Structure 1
Amino acid sequence: MKIAIVEDDINMRKSLEIAMGDYEKYEVHTFKNARDALKKLDDTFELIISDINMPGMDGIEFVKALGGKFEVIIITGNATLTRAIESIQLGVKDFLLKPFEIETLIAAIERTASVAKKIPKPTASTPTLSNTSFLGTSPALEKLLSRTAKAATTDASMMLLGESGVGKEVFARHIHESSARASKPFIAINMAAIPDNLIESELFGFEKGAFTDAMEAKTGQFELAEGGTLFLDEIAEMPYSLQAKLLRVLQEREIRRLGSSKNTKIDVRIITATNADLNTKIAEGKFREDLYYRLNTIPLHIPPLRERREEILSIAEAALERYCTQYAFESKSFTPNAKNALEHYNWPGNIRELISVVERSAILSDGNLIDTEDLFLEARGLGRI
């Protein structure tokens, strides 16, 4: 297995290189930063091990740049735990907290390799859990759904707040499907996943010849969502220079394609989401206060999974059933000990982390029963409640 280690700390980098040199089946290449790695990575690499807190391009930006082409294991210190949780959102299925024993890393490598071998390449018909509706219930969820029902029937702008992985896109889709716009498009855009220089053309579209590579006209997401709902996730990541244009769209209800001399009227409901503290962003001059008030007409705070524990087993069991079907496994179930572990884990990555853990346990467990050790929760070093 050809592995790339991306670590700016020379001592850590050399230690990993030496320790893994004892394992003949691994061909290890090390890089001192993400930019150097991106220049050398090719299809011969099977796994990337990356730190998060690195100068220049950090680990999260690095994972985004990889675009899902490689399996990734994140390693991090306690000071960057929050960013490790962000990695779950980008598809990273394993991360380790420093310091760790080399045996712990090797076990994570083997788990990741086993998962990669067993997961079929996605096709247009491959079912996923990304569009799953609510798989469980809790007092916190019922209270939130009650508030959501009142707001969904209006066209007011809504902002969904909460930690990464709590299911903000699921809520946004639920709002859309509960509104009079349900028969029209629902389009979701992640601001953090689009390079800054492409966001404007992605949202507003462009005319042929608007810039060098504009060989033909492109319809923007606002026009594609006509009559429906446009969900702007990670709105705090929108470049400041574009925020004024978004504010104008909200005020005038019209957009202008790049390279066009005319405006186009639009009828689109805007739902935004963020896990950032926008008040701090405003104070730092990174987010427009007037735009914030336009987007935050109806704020909805989605509680983290640790405050909705009644939902954990329902979500886990539904996800397990779905993955067994998706991968053509025989039916599997959790042991009482595994259920207890699921219910008492902190889930810092929320529902997204839970679904990721279930998928991995479904793939790596040998029999039809998934026990505590198949969950690999202790390896994450985050403990129980």
Structure 2
Amino acid sequence: MTKDDVIHQEDDGNLTVLHPHFVEAKDRLFRLALGGAPKQGELILILGPTRSGKTYLKDRLITELMRVNPACTDELAQEIPFIEEEAEAPHKGSFDYDELHKRLLNQLIPFSNVPRVKDIRPALIDALNKRATRWVMIDEAHHLLYTTSRSDDLSRRVNQMEAIKGLINQTGIQLLFFGNQAIEAAVRLSPQLRSRTKTIRLGGYLMDISKEREVFANFCRSILSAHGFQDHGGEFNPQWIGEMMARCTGSIGAFAEAVDQCRRSGGELRLSDIADYLPDCEGADEAFREEYDFRKRSEAANSYKKLAQNAMKSKDDSTHARSSGSKNRAPSRGSARDAAHDASTD
């Protein structure tokens, strides 16, 4: 994708920045979601930092689902192929799962009234099955992990993941979580859920890779130029780019958001002011390391998959060669003697 493909100026002057690997992520999501739902359901994680294109990716999927499923636009249809909801961050306390389940249930059965809280989840599961719902999308899914308790945080997370696994088991849905990497860490607590999870990652650029630093710098320059910034004092230099990458943890979207906030504050857009709208560099090393480790795991998994495919292909070729050889093999002595005997008898 070119810069023009990923940077769009909205009517209000704000910039929408799509992740440079957005098309690749979209294609993979469409393959997973539209390639036929697995018999036992699965969880799909779409992960990325702020303004990396996760919500836009969800909207594109919804548009495609409505195109290929006539029931989506038929108000009288009994089936509801998909539903979506945002997991809103609680104003205080822990995340309210019952409230989320109630909102999802109301999309399937409008004005449903479940008097007892303990009956909301079973009612949702029943409605998902009756409505033949295949996809449930949750935006800002990392908010599901919000809790005020620290003493039993681990056991709470494990119970949450087991509950998600149970929902998938009982409905066979594809559950799509759009959020940050925190939800991925939680999923690892349930080995069975993890084995049925696919991950699509819109990660940031890595500082240690010179080409990615160069691409990040080019996008930053394009974003600033779109706002009319001119670098007269040489502020736009490798040191400043390095600081921006660290503060944004390699996220172009986070940088664009900071520029928007700086611009709205009034006055001349100066590079030195943009940092005021970004977090400090604390935790950047860990974030970059997580992205690097994820890429290494992905590369290792792809390499193993290719090796397995090549091994299977070699085995099939070998089997085919042996089969062809046996068909073309010369008859044995016994077979030739029998044939001669038959000929003399004739």
What TM-score does the superposition give when structure 1 sets the normalisation length?
0.42
Question: Which of the pair is proportionally richer in strand?
Answer: 1
Question: Which of the pair is proportionally richer in helix?
Answer: 2
Does 1 or 2 have the higher relative contact order (CA < 8 Å, sep 6+)? Answer: 2
Bigger radius of gyration? 2
What TM-score does the superposition give when structure 2 sets the normalisation length?
0.45
